[in-house]
Amino acid sequence: MFIPRRCGLCVEHCPNWMYPNQLSILAENEIYDTIEDEWDLWDCIECGICAYVCPAHRPIIHFIKQAKAIVDNM
């Protein structure tokens, strides 16, 4: 089965209408100013659904938690 790089399943399932795919990519690349100002980092309730549904098993919730910890200490 072909799974595109950004399938969007996490976006479909996020209960808070967020973009976990974008959040995780920005966090992974340490782009913290954008993740806070433009992608509403703090709206994430850390439910973990995005990571659960990810067919690529990306540790999305790990990236989000890490970004919150870093931004909180900036």
- Scan residues 5-64 and list those touching ligand SF4 (CB under 6 A): 14-16, 18, 20, 44-50, 61, 64
For residues 53-65, one letter each, b for 16 or more C-beta atoms within 10 angstroms of the residue's C-beta and e for the rest, the string is bbeeebebbebbe
What is the Cα–Cα distance from 38 to 34, expressed in whole angstroms?
A: 5
Between 26 and 49, name the residue whose CB sits nearer to ligand SF4. 49
Between 2 and 11, name the residue whose CB sits nearer to ligand SF4. 11
Residue ranges that bind ligand SF4, judged by CB under 6 A: 14-16, 18, 20, 44-50, 61, 64
